[in-house]
C-alpha cells in the first residue's frame, strides 16, 4: 500500500483554504479532502473543522465499527452530521465566520474485504483508476450548478470545463442547519487506484489527463499533477490524496 498526498496554495491565492486528513488503523483507512469557502479566514476554518471533526468521530467510533455495532455507511452519516452541526454552530457564534461552508469528500477503505465507502458534499471528488483496463471512473457526483445543467442537457460536459459559473456549488457543509450527503459503495479490485481531490485539480485537468499522469507516473503523479495545474495558471488551491493498493499486498 502506498498513500501520497499534497496540498498546494496555487499561483493566485494568498492562502490555502483546503484541508485533508489520512487515518489508518488495523482494519480501516480514512481519506478526506475539504475545500472551504467564505470571506476572511472562514473558508480555511470551515475546511479545518470538517477534517478535524471527521478525524475525531472516526477515532471515537472505530471500536464500534470493528465490533460491527455500526457499519461504514452509518459512520459516514454520523461524521457528516457532526461536521455540519459544528460548522453551522461556529458560523452563528462567530460573526466573521457567518455563512462559511466547505465541501467534504471522505473515503473509508475496509482492508479486510476491499470495500470502499464514499461520502460526498460539494464538488470535491473521488476517482477510481483502473490500471488493467486503462480507465478512470468518477465515483462522486458534483453538487454544482454546471452539473445540474449537464443533467438537464443545457450544456455538454465539454462546455462545463469553461463555463463562467463552473465554481458555483449547490450543496456544502455549514450554510444550512441540515445537509444531505451522497454515499457510494464499491469494491476496490486488484491494481486499482483511488484519487481524492479538490476542484483546483479538476478545474485545470480533464479526467483522461488525470488518468494518463497517474498511470504513467504512479507514486510521483501527485507532484506531477500539481505542477501541471500550476503550469496552467494555478487559479485555486489544489489538494490530492492518492491511494495505491493491491489485493495481493497486505495493508501494513
> Which tens digit of pLDDT belongs to each residue from 174-195?
999 999 999 999 999 988 999 9
CATH number at residue 144: 3.60.40.10
Domains in the chain, number: 1
**Full-model pTM:** 0.94
Question: Does the pLDDT at position 28 exceed 50?
Answer: yes
Most trustworthy range by pLDDT among 107-111, 150-154, 244-248: 107-111
According to the model, what pLDDT value does residue 250 have?
Answer: 39
The pLDDT-based confidence of 166 (bands split at 50, 70, 90) is: confident
User: pLDDT tens for residues 62-86?
Assistant: 999 989 999 999 999 999 999 999 9
At residue 197, what are phi and psi to the nearest 5 degrees?
-155, 155
According to the model, what pLDDT value does residue 248 have?
Answer: 44
Which tops the pLDDT comparison, 105 or 25? 105
User: In terms of C-beta density within 10 A (0-12 exposed, 13-18 middle, 19 or more buried), how is residue 95 classed?
Assistant: exposed
State the chain's mean pLDDT as an integer. 93
Question: Are the C-beta atoms of residues 72 and 115 closer than 8 Å to each other?
Answer: yes
Question: Does the pLDDT at position 125 exceed 80?
Answer: yes
Q: Is residue 249 in a domain? A: no
Give the relative orientation of helices 72-93 and 42-66 as an angle to the nearest 10 degrees: 150
Q: Is residue 251 in a domain? A: no
Give the Cα separation of 54 and 238 in Å (integer).
20
Q: Is residue 252 in a domain? A: no
Q: Is residue 250 in a domain? A: no
User: pLDDT tens for residues 195-215?
Assistant: 999 999 999 999 999 999 999
Burial annotation 157-194 (CB, 10 A radius, 16+ → b, else e): eeebeebeebeebebbbbbeeebebbebebebeeebbb
Q: Is residue 211 in a domain? A: yes
Q: Which domain holds residue 49?
A: 2-244
Q: Is residue 186 in a domain? A: yes
Which tops the pLDDT comparison, 133 or 167? 133
Amino acid at each position: 500500500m502506498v498513500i501520497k498526498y499534497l496540498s498546494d496554495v496555487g499561483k493566485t491565492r494568498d492562502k490555502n483554504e483546503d484541508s485533508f486528513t489520512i487515518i489508518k488503523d488495523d482494519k480501516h483507512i480514512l481519506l478526506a479532502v475539504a475545500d472551504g469557502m467564505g470571506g476572511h479566514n472562514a473558508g480555511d476554518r470551515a475546511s479545518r473543522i470538517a477534517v478535524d471533526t471527521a478525524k475525531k468521530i472516526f477515532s471515537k467510533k472505530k471500536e464500534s465499527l470493528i465490533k460491527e455495532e455500526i457499519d461504514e455507511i452509518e459512520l459516514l452519516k454520523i461524521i457528516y452530521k457532526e461536521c455540519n452541526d459544528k460548522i453551522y454552530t461556529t458560523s452563528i457564534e462567530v460573526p466573521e465566520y457567518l455563512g462559511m461552508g466547505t465541501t467534504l469528500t471522505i473515503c473509508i477503505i475496509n482492508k479486510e474485504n476491499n470495500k470502499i465507502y464514499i461520502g460526498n458534499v460539494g464538488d470535491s471528488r473521488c476517482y477510481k483508476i483502473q490500471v488493467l483496463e486503462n480507465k478512470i471512473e468518477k465515483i462522486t457526483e458534483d453538487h454544482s450548478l454546471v452539473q445540474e445543467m449537464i443533467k438537464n442537457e443545457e450544456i455538454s460536459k465539454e462546455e462545463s470545463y469553461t463555463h463562467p459559473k463552473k465554481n458555483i456549488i449547490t450543496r456544502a457543509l455549514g450554510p444550512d442547519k441540515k445537509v444531505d450527503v451522497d454515499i457510494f459503495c464499491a469494491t476496490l479490485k486488484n491494481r486499482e487506484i483511488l484519487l481524492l481531490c479538490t476542484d483546483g485539480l479538476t478545474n485545470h485537468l480533464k479526467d483522461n489527463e488525470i488518468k494518463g499522469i497517474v498511470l504513467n507516473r504512479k507514486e510521483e503523479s501527485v507532484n506531477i499533477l500539481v505542477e501541471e495545474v500550476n503550469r496552467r495558471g494555478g487559479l485555486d488551491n489544489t489538494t490530492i490524496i492518492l491511494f495505491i493498493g493491491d489485493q495481493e499486498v497486505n495493508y501494513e
